[in-house]
Structure formats: structure tokens, C-alpha cells
């Protein structure tokens, strides 16, 4: 397992630099902009990019035929799948912490971001950004990246539209319209994201174990 995670790290270092650079740009911009809910997209976007990384890694695996080769090594298919999910989770966690840090920085500059808004944003960030791997990974692991890509784009669309709808529903156009149960919604969103991620992880293991390589 350690070896599989190390391999993912080498791949991220080599192939995902652009993602990380774009994420950094959005983080800096979102920290610098002086507005409330208006720059929600900027705050969310780095997390969405982090959510794409596991599927990108999977595409590189198929391209190099690592998916076949790894099946000859002393690791189980469950471990191969778990390496993807763990990498995704760690990246998301890191990105969410950075996004929170960026938002805190905004708050420290006296912008219109409130503590409740930040809490709600963080909860929604976790849910929305985890939805991409939750939907796309099982499909790509079962059908391969080529076919799974169609589902992947569907997942991105659902996530983007969903995040917009959620933000409009829960936040409205300004921070004054933050729902009264923001804390409960945030915790619920985090829990829902993690539960869905766990279910997707289990489903992926099951689907990948039945796949012929």
C-alpha cells in the first residue's frame, strides 16, 4: 500500500502541477477579493480541481498500462482502489484547509465574510468537491477511463450545477441570507460527503474486483 501511495505521489508531482498551479491562483485571488458570497466559485474551485486528480491519476494508469501491471504485483485490487481514494481524500483535506485559510485571511481583512458563512462554505466545499470522485471513480474503475469519461463529465456538470444551486438556495445573494441552521447544514454536508465517499470507495473495490484486466 505504501508503494502504491508513493507511486500516486510521483504521478501527482509530475502530471498534476498545472492543477495545483491553477488551484493556487484561485486561492490567492479568493483571499484577495473583498466580497462575500460573490466569490464563492473562487473558493470552491480549487477543491473541485483536487476532486479531479484521482480520475486523472486513473487515466495515466490506463495509458501506461499500470492497471494491468499492478495486478501482477504483491498488492490486492482493493489496495489499488484504496490508494486512489486515500490520495483523493488527502488532497481534498489539504485543499479545504487551504481554502479555509484563504477565507480566514479575507475575514481578517474585514470583509463581509462571517464565521457562519465560512462554516457553511466549508461544509458545502467538502460535499461538493467529494462528489466528483464519488461519482466518477466507480464508473471509471468498472468501465475504464474512456467510457467512464462520459460519466465523469456528467459528474462535473452535476457538481457545478449542484454547487451553484446549493449556494443560491442556502446563501442567496448576500451573507445576510445565511440560513438560520447554517452550522447544522455544514455538519450535515460534511457527514454526507464522507459517507458518500466511503460508499463509493466500497463500491469501487467491489466493481474493480470483478473487472477483467
User: Contact residues for other proteins (CB under 8 A)?
Assistant: 1-7, 10-11, 14-15, 60-61, 63-76, 212-213
Q: In the structure grid, which three cell numbers stand for residue 110, read together?
A: 474585514
Rounded Cα distance, 154 and 175, in Å:
30
Output 63 or 157, the one with its CB closest to other proteins: 63
Shortest distance, position 72 Cβ to other proteins, whole Å: 4
Shortest distance, position 14 Cβ to other proteins, whole Å: 4
Output 58 or 182, the one with its CB closest to other proteins: 58
Closest CA to 46 of 64, 63, 28, 72: 28
Q: Give the other-Cβ count within 10 Å of 211's Cβ.
A: 13
On the CB side of 95, CA atoms within 13 Å amount to: 32
Shortest distance, position 123 Cβ to other proteins, whole Å: 35
Shortest distance, position 118 Cβ to other proteins, whole Å: 38
Q: Which residues contact 114 (CB under 8 A, 6 or more apart)?
A: 107, 175, 178
Output 14 or 180, the one with its CB closest to other proteins: 14
CB 85 within 8 A of CB 54: yes
Shortest distance, position 129 Cβ to other proteins, whole Å: 25
Q: In the structure grid, which three cell numbers stand for residue 153, read together?
A: 463529465
Rounded to 5 degrees, φ, ψ at 148 are: -65, -20
Shortest distance, position 207 Cβ to other proteins, whole Å: 14
Output 69 or 153, the one with its CB closest to other proteins: 69
Rounded Cα distance, 74 and 82, in Å:
15
User: In which residue are the cell numbers 462575500 written?
Assistant: 36
Output 5 or 104, the one with its CB closest to other proteins: 5
Amino acid at each position: 500500500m505504501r508503494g502504491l501511495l508513493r507511486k500516486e505521489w510521483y504521478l501527482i508531482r509530475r502530471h498534476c502541477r498545472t492543477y495545483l498551479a491553477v488551484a493556487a491562483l484561485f486561492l490567492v485571488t479568493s483571499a484577495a477579493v473583498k466580497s462575500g458570497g460573490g466569490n464563492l466559485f473562487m473558493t470552491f474551485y480549487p477543491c473541485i480541481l483536487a476532486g479531479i486528480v484521482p480520475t486523472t491519476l486513473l487515466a495515466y494508469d490506463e495509458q501506461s498500462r499500470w492497471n494491468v501491471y499492478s495486478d501482477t504485483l504483491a498488492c490486492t485490487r482493493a489496495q489499488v482502489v484504496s490508494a486512489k481514494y486515500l490520495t483523493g481524500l488527502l488532497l481534498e483535506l489539504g485543499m479545504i484547509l487551504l481554502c479555509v485559510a484563504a477565507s480566514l485571511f479575507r475575514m481578517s481583512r474585514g470583509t463581509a465574510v462571517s464565521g457562519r458563512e465560512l462554516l457553511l462554505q466549508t461544509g458545502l466545499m467538502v460535499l461538493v468537491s467529494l462528489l466528483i470522485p464519488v461519482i466518477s471513480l466507480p464508473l471509471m474503475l468498472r468501465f475504464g477511463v474512456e467510457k467512464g469519461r462520459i460519466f465523469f463529465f456528467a459528474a462535473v456538470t452535476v457538481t457545478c450545477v449542484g454547487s451553484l444551486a446549493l449556494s443560491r438556495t442556502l446563501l442567496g445573494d448576500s451573507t445576510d441570507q445565511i440560513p438560520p441552521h447554517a452550522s447544522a447544514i455544514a455538519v450535515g454536508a460534511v457527514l454526507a460527503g464522507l459517507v458518500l465517499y466511503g460508499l463509493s470507495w466500497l463500491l469501487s473495490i467491489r466493481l474493480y474486483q470483478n473487472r477483467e484486466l
